Amino acid sequence: MIEARLYEKLDGGRVLCHLCAHRCTIAEGKRGVCQVRENRAGTLYSLVYGMSISQAIDPVEKKPLFHFYPGSSAFSFATVGCNFRCSFCQNWQISQTVREGGLVDGHDSTPEHLAAAARHYGCRSIAYTYTEPTIFFEYAYDTAVLASKAGIKSIYVTNGYMTEEMLDAFGPHLHAANVDLKSFRDEFYKVNCGARLQPVLDTLKEMKKRRIWLEITTLVVPGQNDSEDELRELAGFIAREVGVDAPWHVSRFHPEYEMADVQPTPTATLHRAREIGQEAGLRYVYEGNVPGSEGENTYCYSCSRRLIHRFGFTVVENVVSRESTCPYCGAKIDGVGLAAKV
């Protein structure tokens, strides 16, 4: 347990947290929305520093990041807690455990250990993932600083609800992010996530300004955010405000948590969502959680030839040139470290 960063002390022993867009005012003895930042006698503490609940070596494609050193490994870790309460959460066993009455738990694992492990296993990056990394900012930041010194990149897999202050504080140590844009309806965020839409849109634009490599994921939930009108508006926002070069992943929902009675997303819905993204001018639109779909592959937006062949999270073939161009027509392919051997 360490003193938190990015907060201010208020009268009456209260504190104001500036880490995420909830900007919780927390009374003595209470915790913020995330359930892992607690006010003790007027000082805000992170309860999860050095407490990793999950660690794994993942393909970077699992984040999903398809245009950031494709085929490489990402050392991935998380703590318990989240600043959202998504009714369809795919990792609710760790993200919602404290809210469900569980303990703030985990295994002792210092930033030094994590950075050293990533280096030992030859990982190109460290991914702060599985739960919302913003809520364990101090832990992630200290790890990222050490990783940067070792030439290892840092990735946020995030709901996008952080503040500009957090992005400022993370500075040059955040190299890539996959942001969940869960819906283009504020009501969806209020009812299903306990949050609002606008801060996520603001984060996407801020990350673009800061030249953080950015990919976007929308988990398409039947009957919730799968209308063609909404998908068209969402794709239009990405093309207009983030850029046609930003990959958009439209992923299949599987029944989980409080939506265990909802059927999985029909593959036809994902095919149509991909078409809508392409019609909006997006260069790279991917279908997630559908192994074997042609929507997993990277195609040249200029000549339509297949450049990266994937099956699930595995890169089967990558023909992108060392100059990150299409070998067939010479078009510049957007991303970081795209060639098979960089």
pLDDT per residue over 297-330, tens digit each? 999 999 999 999 999 999 999 999 999 999 999 9
Task: For residues 69 and 215, state if they share a domain.
Answer: yes
Task: For residues 138 and 277, state if they share a domain.
Answer: yes
Query: CA-to-CA distance for 110 and 140, rounded, in angstroms?
Result: 10
User: What is the rounded average pLDDT of the residues 127-146?
Assistant: 97
Does pTM surpass 0.75? yes
Q: Are strands 25-26 and 15-17 parallel, antiparallel or unpaired?
A: antiparallel
Instruction: Print the domain residue range for 338.
Output: 297-342
Task: For residues 29 and 61, state if they share a domain.
Answer: no
**pLDDT at residue number 327:** 97
Domain count, the chain: 3
**pLDDT class for 341, splitting at 50, 70, 90?**
low
Two structure tokens written together for 278: 């392409």
**Per-residue pLDDT for 24 more than 50?**
yes
Give the domain-ending residue among 12, 31, 46.
46
**pLDDT class for 234, splitting at 50, 70, 90?**
very high
Give the domain-ending residue among 269, 293, 317.
293
Beta carbons within 10 angstroms of residue 319's beta carbon: 16
**Per-residue pLDDT for 342 more than 50?**
no
In this structure, are residues 221 and 256 in contact, taking their beta carbons and an 8 Å threshold? no
Q: Which of these ranges, 61-75, 86-100, 136-150, 238-252, has the smallest mean pLDDT?
A: 86-100
Query: CA-to-CA distance for 20 and 137, rounded, in angstroms?
Result: 10
Residue 36: what residue type?
V
User: What is the rounded average pLDDT of the residues 125-152?
Assistant: 97
Residue whose C-alpha is closest to residue 37's, from 128, 104, 91: 104
Long-range contacts of 268-277 (CB under 8 A, 24+ apart): 269/220, 269/222, 269/226, 270/220, 270/295, 271/295, 272/228, 272/231, 273/218, 273/220, 273/226, 273/231, 274/250, 276/228, 276/231, 276/232, 276/235, 277/231, 277/235, 277/238, 277/248, 277/250
**pLDDT class for 291, splitting at 50, 70, 90?**
very high
DSSP state of 30: -
**pLDDT class for 128, splitting at 50, 70, 90?**
very high
Mean per-residue pLDDT of the chain: 96
Task: For residues 301 and 289, state if they share a domain.
Answer: no
Predicted confidence (pLDDT) per residue in 181-220, tens digit: 999 999 999 999 999 999 999 999 999 999 999 999 999 9
In this structure, are residues 259 and 247 in contact, taking their beta carbons and an 8 Å threshold? no
Task: For residues 36 and 159, state if they share a domain.
Answer: no
**Per-residue pLDDT for 277 more than 80?**
yes
Task: For residues 115 and 212, state if they share a domain.
Answer: yes
**Per-residue pLDDT for 224 more than 60?**
yes
**pLDDT class for 111, splitting at 50, 70, 90?**
very high
Q: What is residue 58's three-state secondary structure? A: strand
Task: For residues 98 and 242, state if they share a domain.
Answer: yes
Task: For residues 229 and 336, state if they share a domain.
Answer: no
Task: For residues 109 and 229, state if they share a domain.
Answer: yes
**pLDDT at residue number 325:** 97
**pLDDT at residue number 99:** 86
User: What is the rounded average pLDDT of the residues 59-71?
Assistant: 98
**pLDDT at residue number 191:** 97
Task: For residues 188 and 337, state if they share a domain.
Answer: no
DSSP state of 291: T
Task: For residues 266 and 123, state if they share a domain.
Answer: yes
CATH number, domain of 243, equals: 3.20.20.70
What's the gap between Cα 51 and its chain centre? 20
Task: For residues 223 and 277, state if they share a domain.
Answer: yes
